């Protein structure tokens, strides 16, 4: 099975770029060639720092990193030639697409007060670089095992000849650039406020037969509080009164299913402290687990975040009932069957049973459910 972003590039992005930019040859369409992830270290740190950094990078990327050695001695920095000063890994093909998908869909939205990444950090030749201040934004990292905060640099190398082409490519691939549309359409001629722009971006992403979920999420990343969300709702009603009766939530509910609404709307807004759905806590847990389990790539970190909301066995049973009622077409509405099928025994223990065990919640039928699914 090919990664989701790989299929998206070949089925949607590549044909759209060829059409919109009038490329005469399909091979002119830019693509992502490789992604380089680098962690730099202070040479004066203890030896275990390098091992910890390499373990974290291996967990995040799924590939063993290469150690970087100093090329020359610098006395002012207590640096000698040959000393280890960091590590890096180069990702290509399927692994590259999987990492980019996790970066844009799971890691970046976990940054506090995230409003999009800088669209100007290109090198003039179509390559994009960004810095990440801590490794804990990746769901694969267990916070209780982190000994020190470690930043990293991510460089995305493309075949684009200009920054404009590379920006268009990465925006269509789902990179949440600040203030940029997820589809490379021309922007409005008038000067828009931030809330008006967000309303326009959501409308652009929803109109037509194909909904651009990443475009909706990228637009919502610009919001920072509930007041701005209410202003976007009002702007949508004023500017598009003939579309879904000007009701933004009605538009989103019609264009997105429950899992997509949770992943591309509710989660980005919740990261900024904005709650928009009048649903109970157990219904929210059921929706978030369903959204985390859909497709080929399961997100254990999001499952853990959802499970941590449960405070008692009664709430867990209520969440299972809500899952059955709201997602009856997904694993026949059986929450435990979904979890045991999507998670390995180790992940089930780490991301479900352990968080529940901290609250003295015992799911007695979890082992039997796991063994029945395997049979």
- Per-residue pLDDT of 252-286, as tens digits, reads 888 887 667 777 888 788 777 787 766 677 887 88
DSSP H helices in 240-312: 248-255, 258-261, 267-270, 281-293, 300-307
pLDDT at 180: 52
pLDDT at residue 191 above 60? no
* CATH fold of the domain at 4-172: 50s Ribosomal Protein L5; Chain: A, (3.30.1440)
pLDDT at residue 239 above 80? yes
Q: How confident is the model at residue 295 (pLDDT cuts 50, 70, 90)?
A: low
Tens digits of residue pLDDT in 26-66: 888 888 899 998 888 776 667 778 888 888 888 888 888 88
pLDDT at residue 79 above 60? yes
Tens digits of residue pLDDT in 198-214: 888 888 888 876 788 88
Q: Does domain 194-270 have CATH number 1.10.220.10?
A: yes
Give the chain's count of helices (H) and strands (E): 18, 5
pLDDT at 296: 65
pLDDT at residue 188 above 60? no
Q: How confident is the model at residue 365 (pLDDT cuts 50, 70, 90)?
A: low
User: What letter would DSSP give residue 103?
Assistant: I
Q: How confident is the model at residue 371 (pLDDT cuts 50, 70, 90)?
A: very low
pLDDT at residue 293 above 70? yes
Residue-range domain boundaries for the chain: 4-172, 194-270, 281-374
Residue 278 phi/psi, 5° resolution? -85, 80
pLDDT at 25: 82
Q: What tokens does 235 get?
A: 């702007």
pLDDT at 184: 38
Q: Determine which helix (DSSP H) or strand (DSSP E) holds 154, and give its type and residue range.
A: strand 152-158
User: How far is 38 from 152, CA to CA, in rounded Å?
Assistant: 6
Residue where the block lists tokens 């493309």: 158
User: How far is 267 from 209, CA to CA, in rounded Å?
Assistant: 24
pLDDT at 189: 38
pLDDT at 43: 62
Q: How far is CA 23 from the centre of its chain?
A: 30
Closest residue by Cα to residue 216 from 245, 188, 248, 190: 248
**Fold match between 4-172 and 194-270?**
no
């Amino acid at each position: 099975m090919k990664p989701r972003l790989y299929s998206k590039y070949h089925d949607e992005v590549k044909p759209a770029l060829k059409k919109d930019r009038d490329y005469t040859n399909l091979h002119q369409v830019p693509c992502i060639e490789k992604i380089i992830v680098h962690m730099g270290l202070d040479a004066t740190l203890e030896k275990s720092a390098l091992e910890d950094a390499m373990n974290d990078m291996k967990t995040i990327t799924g590939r063993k990193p290469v150690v970087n050695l100093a090329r020359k001695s610098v006395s002012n920095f207590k640096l000698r030639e040959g000393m280890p000063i960091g590590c890096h890994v180069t990702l290509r093909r399927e692994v590259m697409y999987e990492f980019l998908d996790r970066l844009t869909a799971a890691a970046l939205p976990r940054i506090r007060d995230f409003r999009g990444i800088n669209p100007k950090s290109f090198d003039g030749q179509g390559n994009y670089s960004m810095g990440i201040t801590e490794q804990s934004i990746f769901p694969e990292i267990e916070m209780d095992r982190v000994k020190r905060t470690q930043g990293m640099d991510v460089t995305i190398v493309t075949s684009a000849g200009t920054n404009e082409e590379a920006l268009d490519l990465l925006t269509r691939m789902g990179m949440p650039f600040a203030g940029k549309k997820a589809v490379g359409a021309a922007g409005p001629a008038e000067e828009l406020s931030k809330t008006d722009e967000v309303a326009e971006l959501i409308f652009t992403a929803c109109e037509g037969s194909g909904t651009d979920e990443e475009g909706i999420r990228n637009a919502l990343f610009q919001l920072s509080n509930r007041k701005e969300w209410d202003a976007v709702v009002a702007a949508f009603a004023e500017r598009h009164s003939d579309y879904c009766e000007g009701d933004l939530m009605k538009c989103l509910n019609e264009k997105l299913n429950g899992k997509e609404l949770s992943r591309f709307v509710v989660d980005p807004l919740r990261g900024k402290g904005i709650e928009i759905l009048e649903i109970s806590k157990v219904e929210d847990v059921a929706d978030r687990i369903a959204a985390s389990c859909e497709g080929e790539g399961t997100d254990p970190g999001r499952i853990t975040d959802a499970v941590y909301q449960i405070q008692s066995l009664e709430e867990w049973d209520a969440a299972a009932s809500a899952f059955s009622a709201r997602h009856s077409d997904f694993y026949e509405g059986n929450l435990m069957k979904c979890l045991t099928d999507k998670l390995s025994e180790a992940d089930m223990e780490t991301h479900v049973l352990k968080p529940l065990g901290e609250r003295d919640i015992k799911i007695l039928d979890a082992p039997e459910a796991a063994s029945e699914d395997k049979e």
